[in-house]
Every structure is written in C-alpha cells, then in structure tokens.
Amino acid sequence: MPPAMADNLDIWAVDSQIASDGAISVDFLLPTGIYIQLEVPREATISYIKQMLWKQVHNYPMFNLLMDIDSYMFACVNQTAVYEELEDETRRLCDVRPFLPVLKLVTRSCDPAEKLDSKIGVLIGKGLHEFDALKDPEVNEFRRKMRKFSEAKIQSLVGLSWIDWLKHTYPPEHEPSVLENLEDKLYGGKLVVAVHFENSQDVFSFQVSPNLNPIKINELAIQKRLTIRGKEDEASPCDYVLQVSGRVEYVFGDHPLIQFQYIRNCVMNRTLPHFILVECCKIKKMYEQEMIAIEAAINRNSSNLPLPLPPKKTRVISHIWDNNNPFQITLVKGNKLNTEETVKVHVRAGLFHGTELLCKTVVSSEISGKNDHIWNEQLEFDINICDLPRMARLCFAVYAVLDKVKKKK
C-alpha cells in the first residue's frame, strides 16, 4: 500500500512543505504585553524553546517586570480546540501540535483537575467540554458506567504498599515455561548481564546462574561498587530495584532471571541484558504521587454527573409463527385523490408472493369526496398470519366507479 499523503498545510506533518527546513515561525505572547516572533525547530522540546525565548527577552522592554524563568510555562490552544498548559516541558513542539503556532507565556498554575482533563483530551483526541455539551442520553450513560468502573479500579489501589502498587502498575513480564534449546544460547550455562547505578557512569558485568533471583543481582552490583569505590554509605540490596534500560519495566520478585520475558528475548537474540539499579525511594516517590492523584480523583466533585437512563421496559414478545389469527389491516384515509365529489372511490388490497396471489383480494366500502376520503375500516384477509411467507407483499389499487353506468374509471 502506498504511504498516505499528509496535508501540505499541516505544519506539524513530517513531510509538510511549509516546514521543509525543520523550522517553524512561532509567535510568543509575554505577560508584559510584548510580542516576539522566533524561528523554532519543529522537533525542539518545550524546555529548549523557553530557553531560546528567554535569551531574546533580555533585548525587549519591561524585562525587569518578569519573574524567574521557572515561574512561567507555555500555554496554547491544541488540536482539540482546548486551552492547554504545557507543564511537561520534555514534550516536543511537533508532539504538542498547537492549533496555530502561537505560545503564550503564563504563570504556573497548580490545578491538578484541569491538567488531568487536558491530558485526557489530548489522548482521546477530543476535548472533554465537547462530551459535557452532548445531550445524548446513551453517551452520558456510557460515560457514567465507565466512570464508575474507573473509580472502582482506582479505589482498589488505595491502601496498597509501594511494592504491591509496583506489581499492579508495572507487573513483571515472566513466563514459567522453559523454551527448547535455551541453554544452547547461554555462555557455558551462565547468563551475562550488565548493571549500572542510576546517575552513575559505572557499568558492571556479571556471569550468573540463569536461576538466580533479581535481588541477588542487586547484591552483586553493590558489592562490586564497594570493591571499586571503597566503603560509602551502607546500602542494602532491598533498597534497589532493577529497571530495564530504556524502558519503564522492572525486574523484581522471587522468579528466576531466565523466566523474565526481557532476559529470555535477549538470550534468544544473543544480546546483553542491560539494567539500571534504581533506588526504592524513587519508586516510593512515584507511589506517593500516584496516591495523591487517586485521592484527588476520588474527592472530585461529582455533582455534574449525568442522570442514569430509566430502566428499559420489558415487552411481551410474540412470534408470528404462533399467531393463528387472520391477517388484518386498518384502512384509515386517502389524501389528495384527484376525483369529483360524486364519484365513489374504492380500495382493493391483495397479498402477493411474487406474481402469485396468496388469497382473495379485499375491497373497501364506497367513499365519495373531493380531496380527502376517510374510511377507518378494517380489512380482513382469508389467510392466517402464521401462513404468510417471507417476502410477501401487500398491494393496493385505488379506483373510482361512476354512479350512472357503474363503470370502473
């Protein structure tokens, strides 16, 4: 299949002709009322762009009225037409995708609910205010049920310890079964792993048994570091967790190393498993932030929740193949019939299956009138409802009879 063509007017598209040189002209609005336009790389991070802007701000009036650079953040209108504050400054400009290349420098706010709503809107591609404006009861009922389900899920996390939270949020990917010919991929029956401490350039390699637990790797790395650097602060293997390098994936627990999916894939591909020894205090900090967010989500005002749909009424279901009553219709009236007032009008109805007449035709009574002809008459056919075949057709013929000669017209 040929690659899809991007809109040439989309400045955030990779192959856009507008930003073919990799730079985009961005308008910056400062709190002092100053307007600055800069050429910015489309793949630059928000932090880098703010540093670029701050270097230029020194050359403009009223710079002394601005606070420290860390007191500000950018805000824009995103692709979902929602005002978004760019608190995460590690994001790239091409990932933020403002509706227009205009960034406003605003003072940092601390409303977690608005920030969460903005992130949700970016993820689903539609602003939450658009959902709130919907009057569809089925959509509101679905949102209410999903909210109730989500609240039950986050409620189950309350009270967990940090290690249980880690198991729930980042469950280790392991497989108890042993693959065939896996031992042939090992180095003399040993597994080679590389470990380095976070915020350190030291990398240690170990040849260990594939049935070793991850906590033993922590112990070996700590002992190796003490041997090279000498005795520092007392460290325990339980104070660290192995993290897969370059991933948000953790290797911990009582399972053998060879059962973890990442290590098994490295062995099969003959690549070296790389790990980072992360301090547990960092994991605990993530856990505490998550608990604060959960508590804020539980305590959010739920007064604007949509009302639930009324329960559906149960209807008595009957099958036509069990109905032995004659087929009947009610002939109500006919409008705008082009006839004279003295002419008698009849309606003849018949049931057909293809060209075959299923029963005798039924004729209505005579009605006269100029435009509207009202019958309110019930027509009964000489066939039961259960005997009607599929694709049966009900056909009508409207005709007039002259009073003098009784001739069909």
Which tens digits make up the pLDDT trace of 57-99?
888 888 888 888 888 889 999 888 888 888 888 888 888 889 8
User: What are the pLDDT digits (tens) for 179-192?
Assistant: 667 777 777 778 88
| Residue with the two structure tokens 């309606």 | 347
Using CA atoms, how far apart are residues 53 and 40, in angstroms rounded to an integer?
10
162-169 vs 280-298: helix crossing angle, rounded to 10: 80
User: What are the pLDDT digits (tens) for 123-154?
Assistant: 777 777 777 777 778 887 888 888 888 888 88
3-state helix, strand, coil in the chain (%, to 5): 30, 25, 45
Angle value at C-alpha 227, between 225 and 233, nearest 5 degrees: 60
> Distance of alpha carbon 61 from its chain centroid, rounded?
45
Q: Which two tokens stand for residue 24?
A: 């985009």
Model confidence pTM above 0.75? no
The residue ranking higher by pLDDT, 191 or 307, is 191
Res 310: pLDDT: 63
Tell me the torsion sign for CA atoms 253, 255, 260, 266: positive
Using CA atoms, how far apart are residues 326 and 338, in angstroms rounded to an integer?
33
Res 2: pLDDT: 43
The answer on pLDDT for 231 being more than 80 is: no
Using CA atoms, how far apart are residues 37 and 25, in angstroms rounded to an integer?
7
Q: Residue 307: exposed, middle, or buried by beta-carbon count in 10 A (0-12, 13-18, 19+)?
A: exposed
Question: Strand order of the sheet with strand 72-77?
Answer: 35-41, 23-29, 102-107, 72-77, 83-86
Using CA atoms, how far apart are residues 24 and 144, in angstroms rounded to an integer?
42
Res 112: pLDDT: 61
Res 10: pLDDT: 66
Angle value at C-alpha 74, between 97 and 289, nearest 5 degrees: 95
Query: Poorest-confidence range of 98-112, 180-194, 241-255, 322-336?
Result: 180-194
- Give 84-144 as a DSSP string: EEE--TTSBHHHH--SSSEEEEEE----HHHHHHHHHHHHHTS-HHHHHT---HHHHHHHH
Q: Phi and psi dihedrals of 240, rounded to 5? A: -130, 160
Q: Domains, the chain, ranges and CATH? A: 23-125 (3.10.20.770), 175-285 (3.10.20.90), 321-401 (2.60.40.150)
- 323 contacts: CB under 8 Å, gap ≥ 6: 384, 385, 386
Report, as an integer, the average pLDDT of 310-339: 81
Angle value at C-alpha 249, between 247 and 250, nearest 5 degrees: 135
Tell me the torsion sign for CA atoms 292, 293, 299, 300: positive
